[in-house]
Structure 1
Amino acid sequence: MIGYIKGEVSHLFPEYCFVDVQGIGYRICIPLSTRQRLSVGTTISLFTYLNVREDSLTLFGFFTEEEYDLFMKLIAVTGIGPKAAVSILSAIRPQDFYIAIGQKNIGVLTKIPGIGKKTAERMILELKDKIAVPLDNEYAGIGISDAAADSAQDVIRQTVQALITLGYNQAEIMPVIKQKTEEYQQANLACTVEQLIKEVLKDFGAR
Structure 2
Amino acid sequence: MIGRLTGKVYEKTPPFFILDVSGIGYLIQSPLSTFKQIKEEEEITLYTKCIFKEDEAFIYGFLTREELKIFEELISVSGVGPKSGLNLLSSFSPEEISEAIENENVELLSSVPKIGKKIASKIILELKGKLKFDETPKLFTQAVNALCSLGISRSEALQRLKGLPQNLTLEELVKQALRK
TM-score (normalizing by structure 2): 0.72
Map 1:1-207 to 2 at 5 A.
Answer: 1-132=1-132
Structure 2 distance, partners of 1:133, 1:100, is 13
Structure 2 distance, partners of 1:129, 1:16, is 32
1:145-179 CA distances to partner (integer Å, 9 max, x unpaired)? xxxxxxxxxxxxxxxxxxxxxxxxxx7xxxxxxxx
Consecutive unaligned residues in structure 2, runs of 5 or more: 143-180
Q: Answer whether contact 2:102 2:129 (CA < 8 A) is retained.
A: no
Runs of 4+ in 1 over 2 A off after TM superposition: none
Structure 2 distance, partners of 1:126, 1:134, is 20
Q: Answer whether contact 2:88 2:109 (CA < 8 A) is retained.
A: no
1:20-64 CA distances to partner (integer Å, 9 max, x unpaired)? 112111100111121122100111111111101222111110111
Structure 1 distance, partners of 2:5, 2:118, is 35
**Structure 1 residue 65 displacement after superposition:** 1.1
1:43 maps to a residue whose letter is E
**Structure 1 residue 133 displacement after superposition:** 6.1
Structure 2 distance, partners of 1:36, 1:74, is 22
Q: Answer whether contact 1:48 1:61 (CA < 8 A) is retained.
A: yes
Q: What SS does structure 1 have at the residue aligned with 2:95?
A: helix
Q: Answer whether contact 1:99 1:133 (CA < 8 A) is retained.
A: no
Q: What SS does structure 1 have at the residue aligned with 2:37?
A: coil
When the two chains are superposed, the root-mean-square deviation of aligned CA atoms in Å is 1.8
**Structure 1 residue 134 displacement after superposition:** 6.5
Task: Please name the residue that 2:153 is paired with.
Answer: none
Task: Please name the residue that 1:158 is paired with.
Answer: none
Structure 1 distance, partners of 2:86, 2:102, is 21
1:106-147 CA distances to partner (integer Å, 9 max, x unpaired)? 111111111111001000000002121679xx9xxxxxxxxx
Structure 1 distance, partners of 2:102, 2:133, is 6
Q: Answer whether contact 2:70 2:131 (CA < 8 A) is retained.
A: no
Q: Answer whether contact 1:92 1:112 (CA < 8 A) is retained.
A: no
TM-score (normalizing by structure 1): 0.63
Count matched residues. 137
Q: What SS does structure 2 have at the residue aligned with 1:7?
A: strand
**Structure 1 residue 13 displacement after superposition:** 2.1
2:75 maps to a residue whose letter is I
Consecutive unaligned residues in structure 1, runs of 5 or more: 139-170, 172-207
